[in-house]
Every structure is written in C-alpha cells, then in structure tokens.
Amino acid sequence: MNAASKIRTQPLGSSTIQGNPYSVFVIQEGYAYTDREGRTRADGTVTLLKGPQVVLVDTGSPWDKGVILQGLGAHGLEAGDVSFVVCTHGHSDHVGNLNLFPEATVVVSQDICRRDVYLEHDFGAGLPFRIDDSVEVFATPGHCGSDVSVLVRGTEEGTVVAAGDLFEREEDDGSWQLLSENPELQAKHRDKVRKLADVIIPGHGAPFRIIKESDPAL
C-alpha cells in the first residue's frame, strides 16, 4: 500500500472464510462488555484453520471446552486431529483449554513446545514461525509483551489475520488503549496488520474486512 491510500473497515458478516489450501472458521466469536452491575464480562474468539494442517487459534476460557469440541466436531474433527494450537497471548480467555491438545505443537505467545520439549525460535528478530507456506505465526506485541498473530494466505477473501487482542473488535479506537501494556508498540503492529490483511479476526468481536482505497486528495 502506498502513501496515496487510505483504509476503512467493513463487517465480514460471516464466520466462515473458504479457501485453498486453508479455510477459516470462527467457532466462537469473542465478546467483552460491562454488565448491569458494572462488571466486565469477556471471552475470547476461537478460530479453526482447516487445511493440510489443522490449526486452532486461541482456546477460549476454561468453561468453553464443550463449545470447542462441538465446533471441531461440526467439521468432522476431534481434539486429537489438531496439529497446532496457537494462543495469541497468555490471558485466561485465550489459553483456557490447552489441556485438550496434548499431542499438538503449542505456541503460547512466543514460546513453542511439543509436549515438554521447547523449540528455539527468535520472534524478536522479526522471524515468523512458519507452519507451512500458507500459515505463519508472527510477533505483534503491545497488548501484552509477547503477543503473536496468525496469518493465513490464499482464502477467497484474501489474506486473513487472526490477531488476538491486537484488535479487540472492529472500530475499537478509544478502548484498546486502556487494555494495552504498551499502546505505542501496539499501534505500530495494528498499522502493520492493517496493511497485511484483507480480513482481521479480532479477540473480542466479529471478523471484519480491511478495505484499502486510493485517495484522490493525496
């Protein structure tokens, strides 16, 4: 995208994005709101990538076990079929069901392990962790110190990024900053992802399109 472009967003209006080799399914849409008693209520988005590998992005809260297993089952899958689990950061509404996937390669923030064996990978050097040619995990810190996002190429909507809480929801300006450990760094990675993505799946809301337009005034 060049300097003579601007970006706007639009709701995707679907929880399913078909593609080749990967299709993307939001099996739980996250939410966050203040209830009538003034309490914060929240749960995280859970996203399934189905293709040559089966990848789950974020695992919701501990009470979401049934939702996850039902969501996998709707696609003919069981927990043992999941080959990679990526938790975008370590908050409880994103890591709550890791124990369902003991045989998967697990990425939690910027740690990668297979059972008790930790794999060396330097996210800090800007190197993505490539699951294959279509899916990669890359560093997007700011909300927390070691957040990651997952990029999926080749869908019918273009490039999809499951971004965890880098984006709380579409049109979240004014709210994400209050939850950020490093707003300046998070803003930098939000800009990066908006340039990369055609669709963003946020941590606490519905998927939305990124529409890049030429600006005749520039």
Question: Tell me, which fold does domain 13-110+128-213 have in CATH?
Answer: Metallo-beta-lactamase; Chain A (3.60.15)
Percent of the chain's residues with pLDDT above 90: 93
pLDDT at 3: 47
Residue 104 has pLDDT above 80, yes or no: yes
Q: Which residues make Cβ contacts (< 8 Å) with residue 116, sequence separation at least 6?
A: none
Mean local confidence (pLDDT), 15-20: 98
Mean local confidence (pLDDT), 5-28: 96
Q: How many CB atoms lie within 10 A of CB 138?
A: 19
pLDDT at 216: 55
Q: If 0-12 CB within 10 Å is exposed, 13-18 middle and 19+ buried, where does residue 2 land?
A: exposed
pLDDT at 214: 67
pLDDT at 1: 43
- pTM of the predicted model over 0.85: yes
Residue 4 has pLDDT above 90, yes or no: no
Mean local confidence (pLDDT), 124-141: 96
